[in-house]
Copies of this chain bind each other. A is one copy, B any other.
Amino acid sequence: MNEERGLQEVKKKRVRLVVAYDGTNYHGWQIQKNGITIESELNHTLSELLREPIQVIGASRTDSGVHALGNIAVFDTVNPMPAEKISYALNARLPEDIRIQKSEQVAEDWHPRYCESKKTYEYRIYRGEFPMPVKRLYSLFTYHSLDVQKMQAAAAYLVGEHDFKSFCQVGAQVESTVRTLYTAEVEEQGADVVIRVCGNGFLYNMVRIIAGTLMEVGQGKRAPEEMQDILAACNRQVAGPTAPAHGLMLMKYEFL
């Protein structure tokens, strides 16, 4: 029997995680020399749990302070623990600001960055005379009034396939700055204004630059039609400022 076991092939499997986190206390997703990141917490905790060195691959390397309801990570393991059980075991060991929402086995060659997907982000703005403490970690405070209808009209110009170079941080290394937005909506939720974008991919800081630009439209500093000129310019200088990280939330990934 020992012999049989020895001859048995070690079965490697690929596991996909849906990862939710409060980004407040992390230096973003990607491993860094200084500071704890979501990736380093996952690698460390998975390696302990599965008793082998684990390195996850993340779908979206969110910035410091950005939150997620459903980022995606994959890793390979030879540990026989059923993929579906890993979420429970992992959540028992992770800090409470990171929680795995789902774990499941996927094809051995499945890679979160080399497959078609729809990503949804929300950027949340809270309008008031003064900041509201219980909202401070998950929304951008503004005392400016915002014309939500104008913001909606401006957002509509972004829908479709465009070169989003004007909405990409300078210096980002990408082959192409063309992306497709399926939807771009601006919604009032009480005192909050929520910008929701869904697309096949997002450039570095793209949602935050869209948010910063739409806020200028909402404040009357730009006309909604200017979005066409900003897109056509292919020049980061022409768009608005990059809105701060803490208002941004990666909502979900859908794989096509």
Contact = CB atoms under 8 A, between A and B. Distances in A.
Interface string A10-35: 00000000001110000000000000
Interface in A47-68: 67
A87 B134 contact: no
A103 to B, nearest CB: 10
A102 B22 CA distance: 30
Given A101-B129, A129-B101, A134 B20 contact: yes
A252 interface: no
A131 B249 CA distance: 16
Nearest to A136: B96
A96 B100 CA distance: 30
Interface in A199-229: none
Contacts of A102: 129
A21 B99 contact: no
Which of A21, A91, A130 has the most chain B CB atoms closer than 10 A to its own CB?
A130
A224 to B, nearest CB: 30
Contacts of A21: 133
Contacts of A69: 132, 134
A131 B99 CA distance: 7
B98 A133 contact: yes
B133 A99 contact: yes
A194 to B, nearest CB: 13
Contact of A130 (B91, B129, B134): B91
Interface in A85-144: 87, 91, 96-102, 128-134, 136-138
Q: Give me the 8 closest cross-chain CB pairs, A-B, nearest first.
A: A22-B133, A97-B133, A22-B134, A99-B130, A21-B133, A99-B131, A67-B134, A99-B133
21 contacts: A20-B130, A20-B133, A20-B134, A21-B133, A22-B133, A22-B134, A67-B133, A67-B134, A91-B131, A96-B131, A96-B133, A97-B133, A98-B133, A99-B131, A99-B132, A99-B133, A100-B130, A101-B128, A101-B130, A134-B137, A134-B138
Interface of A: 20-22, 67, 69, 87, 91, 96-102, 128-134, 136-138, 249
